[in-house]
Each structure stands twice: as C-alpha cells, then as structure tokens.
Amino acid sequence: MSPPAVIGDAPKRREDARFVVGQGAYLDDLSFDGLTHAVFVRSPHPHATIERIDIAAALAAPHVLAVLTAADVDADGLVALRPTVDANVQTGEPFAVLAQPLLARGKVRFVGEAVAMVVAAGKHAAADAAELVRVDYTALPAVATPEAARAEAAPLVAEEVPGNLVLDWRAGTRADAIFEQAAHRVALQVDNHRYVTSPMEPRGGVGVYDPTDRRYTLHVSSQSLHTNRDTCAKMLNVPADRVRFVAHDVGGGFGAKNFPYVEHALLLWAARRVGRPVKWIASRTEVFLTDHQARDHRAKAELALDADGGFLALRVESVANLGAYVAGGNAGVQTNQYIHLQGGVYDIPCVDLRIAAVLTHTTPTGVTRGPGFGEAVNIIERLIDAAARQCGFDRAALRRRNLVRAMPMTNAMGFTVDSGAFLETFDQALLAADLPGFPERRRDSLARGFLRGLGFACHIKGTGGLPQENVDIRFEADGSVSLITGTQTIGQGHETTFPQILADRLGLPNAVIHLRQGDTDLIPMGGGHGSSRATYMGGTAIFRASETIVQKGTRVAARMLEAAEADIAFHDGAFHVVGTDRSVAILTVAAAAREAGEPLDTYHHWTREAMTFPNGTHVVEVEIDRETGQTRLVRHSAVDDYGVLVNPMVALGQAHGAMAQGAGQALVEQTVYDPDSGQPVTGSFMDYALTRADDVPSFTLAFNPTTCTTNPLGVKGCGEAGAVGMFPAIGNAVADALAQLGPIAWNGPATPQAVWRAMRQAG
C-alpha cells in the first residue's frame, strides 16, 4: 500500500474524481418522491405598503397545492428571523433591529422581499400561478445610500430603528491632539463598494416533513448547518432537535450561504402544510435580489505622520449600509472584524474609530471573503499611497519604515497577532515583481497609448469564525475510518486535506479515511465554514482527537504485545515495543479494541482562545486605455504567509480564487441602485460583470510561511487573504496610473465608464 499523503504533500483532490465525470450531488441532482416546487412572489418596490393580496386565482390554477402569505405564517405561529448577532460584540450594547418577517407583513422594504409563496406539483405550474397572485401596493419614498438614510426627515426603513441608525459608537483612543501636532496629515474618502457574491450553485433547498416523528429535514446549499438549523428551528417555533439540515455537494458560498434566510423555514413549513417535499432553487435574478450582498462601506480616513514619515495616528469615521434588515452577522462585522486589525501590519500607536451602520431600502448585506478586515486593509493601504504622493515619500520606503517587525504584535486596539514576517514578505514580493523594470514597462505602455500604474498592498486577516468545533473519529468494522466534522466543505478540498491531517497524525493510508460532514444528525455541533476556519478549527480538533486515540491504543497494544504501557511508542502508523522489532498496526489495534468493547473511536470538542492571521503582500500593474478607460490587470506578484501548508496545491487554488474575486471587485463588479427610486440597476449578468479568465494574468504567488502559534498544526486560514489584498493593490495601481494626468480622487471599481470620466475630469 502506498505511504500516506501527510501534511505538506500535494496529492490531487480526491473529490475531483467524481466532479469531473458529473457525479456530484448538488440540490438539482437529488430525487424525492412526490416532489413539489415553490415559487416566491416578490416585491417590485423597494418601499411600499401592502394594501391587499388576492390569491384566489392562483389557488384555482392547475396543480397548485398552496398559496401562503403572512396571514398563514401568523396563524401557524411562526417567528420572524432575528439576526445572528444583535448586539455590539465589544460592549454588549444591543443594536436597533427589526426582525425580518418570513413573508412581508403590511410593508415591503427592498426589491425582492418575499410577499407570498406558491407551491405546486410542477415548477412551471408554480411559476404560472405566482403570476396570478395580485398584490396591491402603495409605493413609498425609498433611501438607497447611507447619506440618504441619515438625512433629516429621511423615510424610515423601520419604526423600530429611529433615524435608520442601527449602531453608532466609538472605539480606540481619541487622536485629536496627535493630529493637531503632526508634521503631516493626509485625508482620503475611501469607498468599499457593494457587490454580489455570485456562487455557481444558487441558494436553495428541499424541505421534507415526517409526520411520524414530527421532524423537519432541509436539504440545503449552505456553508454553515448547525447554526442555521438552530435559527430555523426558532423561526418554526420548534425545538432544534426536531430540525435536521443536510448539505450534499455545495457549489460555492463566498459568505452568501453563511447565515440563515427566511426561505429555510418557509420550505420546511410548506412541506408540512402540503404533506410533500417542497423544492426551491433561486433563479439567478433571485440571487441578485435576495442573497446577502457584500461590503458597501464608506469611510473618511486620516493618517498623521511625523516629519520622517513615521505613522502617529489613524482616524476613521465610517458608515456601513446594511440594507433593509440586520441580517446574520452584518452588524457584528462592524463591532468585531472591522475594528480588530485597524492599521493592518503597521506600527500605529493610536487608532481613533467612529463606526456607524444604517438601514436602507436595499438587499441586506452579509459577509464575503475578508468581511471587515478587507475594509480596514483597504483604508490603510489607500491612505499610505495618498500620504506618499502628498508628502513626497517613496511608497515602498514608507511602508518599510512602519511595518511591524517584532512578533507577537499587539496593536493599538489591544488585539494580538502571534506570528508573521511582514517586512521579509514585503521585500520578497517586491523583488518578485521586478520593480526596477517598471519604468521601462511604463514607457512601453505610453508608447502604445496606455497609462500604466503600479500598486501594492500588505494584507492581514483574522481567521477562526465560530470559536467552537468538534470531530468524531470512528474506526469502522470494515477497516475504514470515518472522520466526521462539524465544518462544512463548499469546494475547498476538505475531502483531501482533512484525511491528510489524520494520516499525518496516525500514519493511516489516506484511502481508508473518509470525510463525513454536512449533516446535523452526524455530530452534536458545527461551526461550518466561514472566516477560513475549517483547517484551523477542524484540524486542531483532529490533532487533539488523535492524541486521545494514541493514548487509548497504547493500552490495548500493550496487552496485545505483552508489554508495559511505558514501553510502547507510537510512530509510522504502529505501536512499537521500544528497543525491539515487535509492533502492531493501528488498524489491527482498533479491531482488537472494538472486539474488547473499548473502541478507539474518539470525539473531541474544543474552544479556541485566539485566531490565526494569514498575511502577505500583493503587487500589481494595470494598463488603462487612454481613449476608452478600459483597465486591464497585466501583472501580478504576491508572497503570502499561510503558516504550515497542509496541501500546497490546495492552498494555491484557494488563494487564486480569492485573488480573482478581489480583482473582480476592483475592476468590473459593482451592485448599483438608482439613488432616487431605490430600484436595483444591476439585476442580472446582463448588467453585472464577473471576472473572466482573460481579465487576469497568470498569478505569481509564493509562500513565506511562519508557523502559527495559536494551534498545534501551525496553520493559518488561506481562503480569503487574496481578496483582501487584491482590491487595494489594484485601487492603488489605478490611482498611480491616473496620477500621470494630475490629481485625481479615485475609488473603484475601475469600469471603463468610471475611469474614462475620471480621466476627462483631469483634463
């Protein structure tokens, strides 16, 4: 048998063997007897009162089983959806919140909000009947931006949220005196615009109700099951043990599938009402209208420097547009992740934050790669380039002067980063990018009619997510090993990397280890996959469970080998009598232990005390067509620190995906709402662009790992850092290119229209 692939090896992803031949099991691949289909009637208005809902014609339509409205929700005692985080994570102060009704009651607050639910025996029958539901609305004024939401006498999204203000608080230390005395002060308006996460597989689910045991089962495309199961049970007003969530293969998530939605409860409720399974998979239009969207964060940022360019203080006044409801953890991001690493990898003695979050008549926001951390990194990286231009410093030298060198670092907000080699990583990235050759490349671009810009950004992010995780390792009678986790794979390669960790710890052949996950009935709890937590949290649980397995196995092996426990050593997948050639393989010990009634099966639950902090530097070059404003990313070099790499190939793939997403936000992606009407302008891929293969160059990515000290594996999450670094790096490159025409205030995305207008304003 081939030796186990262990930590540091790069075997091909075992899950790809079924994906490439079409054997994946996504929602649309599942079969159910008596399946019915749901279609939602959704609001065409961003803000309106509901005067009347007439469902008579829809109920009479062929094959229709139910047409459900808020009146039915109330009659059955269902409960509105509250946010996962409803209070300031740092202070405990409650947010101003309106719980989201499962179906709109009396008023709609964003385009796409569900008003009624039609269930029919066929998908087309449900769609036809949905068109027969008549809803009389009275349109009301809407607000789509934070500025409009905070204006005097602005229309309220909810009476429960006065002034549309969910939270308004300060963090850090007041820096007024420092700014008054600073040799240099630089101010910048920094926008991190809204976009749609666009997973390949849309959100959806199939709800099933078993009247015998009165249990609900939702087959769902989700990246977090246990927490969403618990929230769904609250909406259904039943105990959590009566609800089961199952996720099969999941076609991407990117944060949009991290938190609960009203559809989770509605599908299960409808299944109970009609006595048959009920299926709904979002159309792409519904993805644009109803999936939690990303970012939408504006900040007025200021940096104080001494005469030599030393950073003295960072002052930020920011506002987040949460959309129509406080959804999932979107407000919690502002009171935890966003403040956590303000100032990034730089030594900034004082950070002064004022943070607000508002409701508007837009789709609720949620999280995506690097929530809060991406916004914070963008602020400091854009400020540093602005300071260099305004004060006459070299951009690279200014960063080198202020990068934190000693580890661990405790920043001005009181948070500690355990490991990293920021300066070394920065210099390696700049060396790989061939900065000395940039002037010649810029001249060549000019000769061809293009403006060329250089940008770089140093990124850092805390990863960890939900602070608890567990695994259950079972040695089966057939000689296989079941590795059951509460984490959730959504395409990252866990079926390959998790067995590598267990193989490394126990010397088992990878082929005998089978990852089982995605079912709330399999394991007591689970943190799912958000905040790049799975390898850190699940991997640590595997590591510690393995220690227990070896302890258990040592007792059994000592009896089998007729030796004292103190004389037994475990290595290379076997228990050995020290000083002899006598040994017994762990799978043999596991079989004997099972027969003796003391199996090696081990469950381990743990709670983390700290996060991991992936970091790195990205260097990019862009070309801008001076006639059209078309901007292309033409060079990209990066060096990242993800700690110990379980599988370098998988880590590389994760980083590439994140970099492509970051490039998409910087160059082409933006969710747009009409500021006067509140109507979404970008409602489909006809109006909204995603990054294509020819929009990105070949990535040059190297690793400069430092071992993380917050977990025994030494790993750091690798799924988000690329997006955090790419957005400000490209923003700085675009600003650098445009600076050749004169002073231009730049905020992305670098769409041809936006860049063309910026160039024309500069003359």
pLDDT in the model for residue 446: 97
Task: For the full predicted model, state whether its pTM sits above 0.75.
Answer: yes
Please tell me the distance from the alpha carbon of residue 516 to that of residue 601, in angstroms, as a whole number.
15
Separation between Cα atoms, residue 651 and residue 463, nearest integer Å: 15
- Asked if residues 235 and 79 have their Cβ atoms less than 8 Å apart, the reply is yes
Query: Buried (b) or exposed (e) across 717-736, using 16+ Cβ within 10 A?
Result: bbbbbbbbbbbbbbbbbbbb
**Domain 142-195+293-403: which CATH number of 3.40.50.300, 3.30.365.10, 3.40.718.10, 1.20.1090.10:** 3.30.365.10
Alpha helix (H) residue ranges in 403-508 = 422-432, 438-447, 494-506
Contact criterion met (CB below 8 Å) for 682 and 288: yes
Calpha distance 292→295 (Å, rounded):
10
Enumerate residue ranges in the chain where pLDDT < 50.
none
Round to whole Å and give the CA distance between 688 and 291.
15
pLDDT of residue 748: 82
By the 10 Å C-beta count (0-12 exposed, 13-18 middle, 19+ buried), 390 is classed as middle
Q: Do domains 34-140+199-253+257-290 and 465-607 have the same CATH topology?
A: no
The residue behind tokens 């936000």 is 665
Q: Is residue 575 within a helix (H) or strand (E), and if so which, with residue range? A: strand 574-577
Domain boundaries, the chain: 34-140+199-253+257-290, 142-195+293-403, 465-607
Calpha distance 658→663 (Å, rounded): 9
For residue 749, cis peptide bond before it (omega within 30 degrees of 0) = yes
pLDDT at 762: 77
Nearest Cα neighbor of 696 from 600, 620, 615, 595 is: 620
For domain 34-140+199-253+257-290, the question of CATH label 3.90.1170.50 is answered with yes
Digit-coded pLDDT (tens) for 647-678:
999 999 999 999 999 999 999 999 999 999 99
For residue 156, the model assigns a pLDDT of 97
- Whether the Cβ atoms of residue 671 and residue 749 lie closer than 8 Å to each other: no
Pick the CATH number of 465-607 from 3.20.20.100, 3.30.70.100, 3.30.70.270, 3.30.365.10: 3.30.365.10
pLDDT in tens, 117-145: 999 999 999 999 999 999 999 999 999 99
Burial 317-355 (b: 16+ CB within 10 A, else e): ebbbbbbbbbbbbbbbbbbbbbbbbbbbbbbbbbbbbbb
